[in-house]
Each structure stands twice: as C-alpha cells, then as structure tokens.
C-alpha cells in the first residue's frame, strides 16, 4: 500500500529556514493558546507579506496541488499536554454555515525543531469521539518525526493528530516539557475557505512580516 504521507528534508534553503525559525521563536507566547484559531489566507497571485508566505511559495512546487492559495497557522504545543484531537482539516466557517464538510486539497506541515515525542500520525480511519483525543479505533498510522526543516504533506481529507511526549495517544497530562514543538501548518486549497483573513488585515504576528 502506498504511504499516506510524503517527506522532504532540508525543504527550504538554509538561510531562509533559519530566518523563519528565528522569527517564530521571537514571537514567544503570542497567541500561543489560540494559535489554532489564528489562521491566514495567502493568495498565490498576491505578493507574500511575511516569512511564512515566502516559505509557502518555495514549498509549493513539491505539492501536486493546483489551487488558489494556502491557509496557514502556527502549530506550537508542549507534547506533555497535546490539546489538538485527531481530526480532518476542513473549511470550518462553511461547515458552521451550511453543514458541508470541504477539505483542502493537501494538508502540510513544515517543522522548525525537534521535540520529545510529538510524532504526527496520519490515517484513513475516521476520528472516534468516544476515544481519548478522538483517536480512531485502529492505530494503523503513517508516522512523521518532527525534524528541523522537514516538510511533510498528505491529502487534506485524511485524519491526523499529534502523539504525546511518549509517542502515545494523548490522554492525561504528562510532566511538563520545557520546550515547544514548533511547526507551521500550510493547507493548499482550490478556493479560499470562508472568512479567513489575510495577514495584512490582522494585528497579530508582526515579527513574521518580511
């Protein structure tokens, strides 16, 4: 069976990657708790307004997606307290409006560092709300280890989640990890998802501006 995930190490030129990582680290705890709700839309026809959007353009040729642009956000967490359940990426506003579940063409992540545990787990199986972290009943995962400048992408309709510091399904909180697991989520869309602002329309993450 073909793997569900694709990997590319040393994805960005070294200088570009280090500039991006420094900028994300410099954000400190800005919107750390609400980072997954702080998403931005970048149209491929527009000029990139920050280091993340520059990275998205550099990574675009590796993803076989024909589309309008990307939705991106910062994925920052302690693997001792993973708060993101297993899920499928979707246009959340459209789901709220119409009850229609539309997925990106491809979901992707650019990792900025290593961490304890924190493997990405990807599967075809449905999330199961009755299980801890909504993990599917069958754990037939394709796994990705976070490494600096590693880029991974997979079909946007696939279920995925993050394992804890012991690389187990997240459950009870573990002893606090001192460092954050740092990544950038970049989802490729044929059409823009609803009500996602552009970076220049937001006051957040100004340190990322190029």
Answer yes or no: is 1 within a domain: no
Place of tokens 């920052």: 76
Specify the number of domains making up the chain: 1
Q: Is it the case that residue 210 has pLDDT exceeding 80?
A: no
The tokens 């063409």 sit on which residue? 105
> Per the domain annotation, does 167 fall within a domain?
yes
pLDDT at 175: 95
pLDDT at 66: 85
**Cα separation, 155 vs 13, whole angstroms:** 25
The residue with tokens 């590693």 is 150
Gap between the Cα atoms of 97 and 68, Å rounded: 22
- The predicted-structure confidence for 141-159, as pLDDT tens digits, reads as follows 999 999 999 999 999 999 9
d(C-alpha 104, C-alpha 65), whole Å: 10
Position 196 in a domain: yes
Tokens for 95, please give them. 């789901």
Confidence of residue 2 (pLDDT cuts 50, 70, 90): confident
pLDDT in tens, 14-63: 999 999 999 999 999 999 999 999 999 999 999 999 999 999 999 999 99
- Residue 140 inside a domain? The answer is yes
> Domain containing 11 — which CATH number?
2.60.120.10
């Amino acid at each position: 069976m073909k793997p569900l995930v694709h990997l590319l190490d040393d994805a960005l030129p070294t200088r570009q990657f280090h500039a991006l990582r420094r900028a994300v680290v410099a954000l400190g705890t800005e919107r750390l708790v609400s980072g997954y709700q702080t998403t931005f839309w970048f149209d491929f026809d527009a000029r990139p307004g920050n280091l993340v959007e520059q990275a998205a353009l550099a990574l675009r040729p590796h993803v076989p997606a024909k589309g309008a642009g990307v939705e991106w956000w910062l994925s920052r967490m302690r693997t001792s307290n993973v708060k993101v359940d297993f899920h499928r990426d979707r246009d959340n506003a459209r789901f709220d409006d119409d009850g229609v579940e539309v997925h990106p063409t491809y979901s992707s992540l650019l990792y900025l560092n290593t961490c304890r545990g924190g493997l990405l787990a990807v599967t075809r199986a449905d999330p199961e709300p009755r299980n801890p972290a909504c993990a599917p009943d069958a754990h037939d995962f394709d796994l990705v280890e976070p490494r600096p400048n590693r880029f991974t992408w997979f079909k946007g309709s696939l279920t995925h989640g993050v394992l804890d510091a012991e690389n187990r399904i997240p459950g009870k909180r573990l002893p606090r990890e001192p460092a954050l697991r740092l990544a950038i989520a970049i989802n490729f869309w044929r059409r823009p998802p609803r009500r996602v602002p552009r970076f220049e329309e937001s006051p957040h993450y100004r340190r990322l501006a190029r």
